[in-house]
Amino acid sequence: MSFKGFFGNWIVKNLLSAVLAVVLLIAGAGLLLKVLTRHNEEIRVPDFSNMSVDEAAAAARAHDVKIDVTDSVYIKRMARGTVYRQIPEAGSMVKKGRRVALTINSVLSKKITMPNLVGYSMRQAKAELSSRGLNLGRLIYVEDIATNNVLKQIYANREIKPGTPVESESRIDLVVGLSSLDNTTYIPTLYGIRYLSAVDAVHNSSLNIKDVSFDNTVKTYSDTLNAFVYRQEPDTSSVTSYLMGTEMTLYFTLDETRIPEPQVDSLSLETEF
DSSP per-residue codes, 114-172:
PP--TTSBHHHHHHHHHHTT-EEEEEEEEE-SSTTBEEEEEETTEE--TT-EEETT-EE
Bond preceding residue 88 cis, omega within 30 of 0: yes
What's the pLDDT at 273?
Answer: 37
Helix (H) or strand (E) holding 202: helix 195-204
Mean pLDDT of the region 232-250: 90
Sign of the torsion angle spanned by Cα atoms 157, 158, 163, 165? negative
Which residues, in sequence order, are bridge partners of residue 177? 142
- Percentage of the chain beyond pLDDT 70 is 84
**Confidence band for 48, pLDDT divided at 50, 70 and 90:** very high
- pLDDT of residue 270 exceeding 50, the answer is no
Q: Which of 104, 225, 127 is nearest to 174 (CA)?
A: 127
Asked if 197 and 237 touch (Cβ cutoff 8 Å), the reply is no
The more confidently predicted of residues 36 and 202 is 202
The more confidently predicted of residues 259 and 13 is 259
- pLDDT of residue 77 exceeding 90, the answer is no
**Which amino acid makes up residue 134?**
L
Bond preceding residue 234 cis, omega within 30 of 0: yes
Question: Up-side HSE of residue 98: CA atoms within 13 Å toward CB?
Answer: 22
- pLDDT of residue 271 exceeding 90, the answer is no
**Confidence band for 9, pLDDT divided at 50, 70 and 90:** low
- pLDDT of residue 36 exceeding 70, the answer is no
Over residues 105-116, the pLDDT tens digits come to 988 878 899 999
Average pLDDT, the chain: 86
Asked if 169 and 135 touch (Cβ cutoff 8 Å), the reply is yes
Question: Up-side HSE of residue 17: CA atoms within 13 Å toward CB?
Answer: 8
What's the pLDDT at 266?
Answer: 42
**Confidence band for 123, pLDDT divided at 50, 70 and 90:** very high
What's the pLDDT at 79?
Answer: 85
